[in-house]
Structures are given as structure tokens and as C-alpha cells.
Amino acid sequence: MAALPGDYGLASYHREEDGERTLAQAMIACSNPYNIGAGANGGILMHAIGQSQPSEIFWKVDKQGRSYLGPKGPTGVPQDRLVISYDEGVLVTEWIDPQVRSVYGTMVYVPCENS
């Protein structure tokens, strides 16, 4: 995993056919970026749903090789996000909690150029 902290354009979609244009919209969203911070314990700082302040989460990998972002401990817990892909700095995640996932869909984070 490369360093994640920085500013990102953030967009989401629910239908697969919207994925490509959502990626383009995430780039535009750098005008109001989402900041991923560096945690004090080697993790990264991101917001959980409902939080106004970020908390430190960690990159975790399960036995099947699936990657997650979430609190220290077991993988696949409701507080985790499944990492769908992390390619050339573009992070794509989905919440494990099905209710939260149904609300926010697939989240696309595109690194901003000035980040």
C-alpha cells in the first residue's frame, strides 16, 4: 500500500453503468476535496459515517487476500470498508455494513493534483 494521506475528489455511485462518469466527477470534486490524514499510529485518518471528526483506521488484509480499511482487529466488521481497488492512487471502497453501503454506494476517491 502506498501512502494514502492527501486531498481526494470524492464521488459515489450505485449502478455499475455510472462508474466511469462518477470517476470523472470525482476529479472535478477536487474543488471541494476530502482530506485523508496521517494517523499517529501508522494508520490514516478518515471519517466514519456520522462522525464530524476523523478517526484512525488501518489497512487490513484477510486470509483470502481482500483488503479493508477499518479499526484495528478482525477484518470484515461493519465498521470496515472493503477496498475494491487501489490503483494509481485511485481508491474505490464499499462499506461492509449493508445498510450504510446501500446509502453511500461505491465510493471513489481520486487524488487531487495539488495533494
Partner 1 sequence: MTKATLAAACILILSFAIPSYGAQRKELDVPEQPGYVPTAEEEMLPAELRPQPVFFRTQEPPGTIIIHTAERFLYHVQGNDRAIRYGVGVGRIGFEWQGIHKISRKQEWPDWRPPPEMIERQPYLPRFMAGGPGNPLGARALYLGETIYRIHGTNQPKTIGYAMSSGCFRMINPDVISLYEKVPVGTRVIVRQTPKL
Q: Contact residues for partner 1 (CB under 8 A)?
A: 9-15, 18, 21-22, 25-26, 28-29, 32, 34, 46-49, 51-52, 54, 102-105, 107-108
Nearest partner of 105 among 45, 36, 5, 22, judged by Cα: 22
Beta 55-61 vs 90-95: how paired, if at all? unpaired
CA 21 to CA 39: how far, in whole Å? 31
Cell output for 29: 470534486
Nearer to partner 1, 21 or 72 (CB): 21
Name the minimum Å distance from CB 56 to partner 1: 15
Question: Taking the complex as a whole, how short is the minimal distance between the CB of residue 67 and partner 1, in angstroms?
Answer: 19
Question: CB of 16: closest distance to partner 1 in angstroms?
Answer: 10
